[in-house]
């Protein structure tokens, strides 16, 4: 019973975070390990993750780091999906807030399954475009052949 009740108290969460660009690509793994260490210390079960990648921000984000205001227009965005006890999530948020190089983060409840479909739709769109252009070129060729036949017949007559 105790095991069941403890399982009932867990939820699937996801933390999305921006790591400051001045950290450098070689130190990103180190920064991610900080977040994972916090998760390990709280006995969270990591479900899936995406390694941070540099991307342009829609608007600049400012953060005061050691008394110095730093404005970032790009950042390394990554996320980790994990299962954690509901009573520990507030403590987790406070721990992440303490990390200086994490300029912004967001914790949400989510589901275990993959929720990203964007790439699939982009691929589908591209495939459709290619099909359309191929069809158009085929149709054009057919018309050309018919025109050629007609013109040849006219010439013969």
Where do contacts with another protein occur on this chain (CB under 8 A)? 16, 18, 57-59, 61, 75, 77, 79, 104, 106, 108, 110-111, 113, 115-119, 121-122
What is the Cα–Cα distance from 32 to 35, expressed in whole angstroms? 5
Q: In this complex, which beta carbon is closest to another protein, that of residue 58 or of residue 157?
A: 58
Q: In this complex, which beta carbon is closest to another protein, that of residue 70 or of residue 77?
A: 77
68-85 and 45-65 beta bridge pairing:
antiparallel
Q: In this complex, which beta carbon is closest to another protein, that of residue 18 or of residue 88?
A: 18
**CB of residue 149 to another protein, shortest distance in Å:** 40
**Buried (b) or exposed (e) across 123-135, using 16+ Cβ within 10 A?**
eeeeeeeeeeeee
**CB of residue 72 to another protein, shortest distance in Å:** 9
**CB of residue 121 to another protein, shortest distance in Å:** 6
Q: Say if CB 93 and CB 38 are below 8 A apart.
A: no
Q: How many helices (H) and strands (E) does the chain have?
A: 4, 4
- Residues present in the chain in total: 157
Q: In this complex, which beta carbon is closest to another protein, that of residue 122 or of residue 152?
A: 122
- Angle among Cα 83, 87, 91 to the nearest 5 degrees reads 90
**CB of residue 17 to another protein, shortest distance in Å:** 9
């Amino acid at each position: 019973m105790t095991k069941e009740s403890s399982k009932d108290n867990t939820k699937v969460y996801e933390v999305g975070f921006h790591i400051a660009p001045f950290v450098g690509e070689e130190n990103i793994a180190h920064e991610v390990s900080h977040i994972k260490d916090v998760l390990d210390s709280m006995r969270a079960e990591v479900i899936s993750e995406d390694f941070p990648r540099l991307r342009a921000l829609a608007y600049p984000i400012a953060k005061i780091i050691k008394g110095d205001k730093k404005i970032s227009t790009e950042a390394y965005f990554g996320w980790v999906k994990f299962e954690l006890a509901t009573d520990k999530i507030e403590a987790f948020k406070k721990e992440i807030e303490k990390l200086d190089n994490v300029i912004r983060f967001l914790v949400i409840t989510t589901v275990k399954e993959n929720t990203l479909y964007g790439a699939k739709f982009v691929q589908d769109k591209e495939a459709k475009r290619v099909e359309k252009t191929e069809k158009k070129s085929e149709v054009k060729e057919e018309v050309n052949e018919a025109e050629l036949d007609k013109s040849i017949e006219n010439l013969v007559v």
